[in-house]
């Protein structure tokens, strides 16, 4: 079952890359008609969400570490850590993609 879901995720990611306009974007800003500095940068709210997500990831790591010290008797810290790691990955990948544009 897991392999089937992984294969479907790979197919979906290939589809999303194909429908994106990666090939239609110019490789150089010079001569493309864009004014230098006209790209939209992340605002304060987005950066704040990124910093808060890092703080939550640190707190969830400490929660997981504390559970590890006491013998891994709970499953909740693992799920909290995985959820915050996923949230950090999404937020920071968005920030990097906006910053590098």
Question: pTM for this structure?
Answer: 0.60
Residue 69 — left, alpha, or beta (φ > 0 → left; ψ -120 to 50 → alpha)? alpha
Q: Which pLDDT score, from 0 to 100, does residue 36 have?
A: 52
Q: Which pLDDT score, from 0 to 100, does residue 39 have?
A: 62
Which residues, given as ranges, of the chain have pLDDT below 70?
Answer: 20-39, 101
Quick check: helix, strand or coil at residue 8?
A: helix
């Amino acid at each position: 079952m897991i392999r089937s879901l992984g294969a479907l995720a790979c197919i979906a990611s290939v589809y999303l890359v194909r429908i994106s306009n990666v090939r239609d974007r110019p490789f150089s800003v010079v001569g493309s008609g864009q004014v230098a500095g006209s790209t939209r940068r992340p605002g304060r709210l987005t950066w704040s969400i990124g910093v808060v997500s890092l703080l939550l990831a640190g707190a969830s790591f400490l929660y997981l570490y504390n559970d590890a010290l006491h013998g891994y008797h709970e499953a909740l810290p693992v799920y909290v850590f995985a959820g915050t790691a996923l949230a950090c990955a999404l937020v920071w990948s968005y920030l990097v993609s906006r910053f590098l544009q």
